[in-house]
Amino acid sequence: MRAQDALRRAVPLLQEAGIEDAARDARVLLAHALGIGHDRLTLKLQDDMTDPQAAVYDQALAARIARQPVAQIIGRRLFWGLSFRVTRDVLDPRPDTETLVAEALTQPFLKMLDLGTGSGCILLACLKGMPMARGLGTDISDAALQVAIGNTRDLGLETRARFRKADWFHGVTGAYDLIVSNPPYIAADEMPGLAPEVRDWEPHLALSPGGDGLDAYRAIALGAGARLMPGGRLLVEIGPSQGAAVAGLFVKAGLVAVRVLPDMDGRDRVVAAAKPGDTDSCGCA
């Protein structure tokens, strides 16, 4: 079978399964089956597929019909222009999270901490953009930490990024001029309404802390002051309706310059804050 014929057959199958962008996903999965980059697929559509390639494509389509995310099927996701390994043990890096990276890189930093690092995408993207910086990523999941370590090797950042198993600030020492986090923030009563790709395939531990969804921010607000340098910054990703609540927690904790920042679609996405004090020591050797 030619690759083009396989693609024509795949699109309606995905559409019938309720896949929103069936044509795009069919093309990405076909490129994966052929072992080529997505940008080269058009050049290969007239080629005959081998039996192993056809088998890989059929398996990938079956997984997508079961609503497994494309990134998990192909094992990779582009984030901040970098390719990251993705498994069921970590969240699928999303474009909205790039809002946090963009804000982090607006000011220099030398020592950063990423709480709940998952795939390591935030930490590693920030370090790529700040060549003199070093960072620590923490997570309570051993499996997630292994994914992050693999991504660190892939990106050549082994000398600048390290990882530790930790529950928020427990066991973390030292002072940092930048602390970031994309913590679990989905409220318990919102979980059933999530898309199947998220609800059924991504780690619930990284999605929801239960209750009102704010417990992680309470822990971060409580511990950030002790781990930030004077003038150091704190940046956290939030759900679109959580800006006022998280900002209030940070103000109550004594942080200053508290702001709620929008993502590319204009929705509240990041809360930024700082520890009071002279910023001269932040981002300086």
pLDDT tens, position by position, 141-167: 999 999 999 999 999 999 999 999 999
Helix 121-129 with 142-154: angle, nearest 10 deg: 30
The string of pLDDT tens digits covering residues 241-280 is: 999 999 999 999 999 999 999 999 999 999 999 999 876 6
What residues does each domain of the chain span? Answer: 3-66, 76-274
Instruction: List CB contacts of 245: < 8 A, sequence separation 6 or more.
Output: 214, 217
> For 84-95, b where at least 16 C-beta lie within 10 A, e where not — what string?
bbbbebbbbbee
The string of pLDDT tens digits covering residues 36-81 is: 998 899 998 999 999 999 999 999 999 999 999 999 999 999 999 9
Give domain 76-274's CATH architecture: 3-Layer(aba) Sandwich (3.40)
φ and ψ at residue 152, rounded to 5 degrees: -65, -40
Q: How confident is the model at residue 201 (pLDDT cuts 50, 70, 90)?
A: very high
pLDDT at residue 178, rounded to an integer:
98
pLDDT at residue 208, rounded to an integer:
95
Locate tokens 């619930």: which residue? 204
- The mean of the pLDDT values for the chain is 96
Q: Is the pLDDT of residue 11 over 70?
A: yes
Is-contact 100 235, C-beta < 8 A?
Answer: yes
Q: Is the pTM of this model over 0.85?
A: yes
Q: Considering only CA atoms, which of 196, 191, 238, 241 is closest in space to residue 216?
A: 238
pLDDT at residue 270, rounded to an integer:
98
Q: What is the mean pLDDT of residues 95-102?
A: 97
Q: What is the mean pLDDT of residues 195-210?
A: 96
The string of pLDDT tens digits covering residues 12-38 is: 999 999 999 999 999 999 999 999 998
C-alpha dist (Å) from residue 30 to 4, 13, 75, 255 = 9, 14, 14, 49
Q: Which helix (H) or strand (E) holds 54?
A: helix 51-65
Burial of 132 (0-12, 13-18, 19+ CB in 10 A): exposed
The string of pLDDT tens digits covering residues 116-139 is: 999 999 999 999 999 999 999 999
pLDDT at residue 273, rounded to an integer:
98
Q: How confident is the model at residue 285 (pLDDT cuts 50, 70, 90)?
A: very low
Q: Considering only CA atoms, which of 179, 170, 112, 162 is closest in space to residue 140?
A: 170
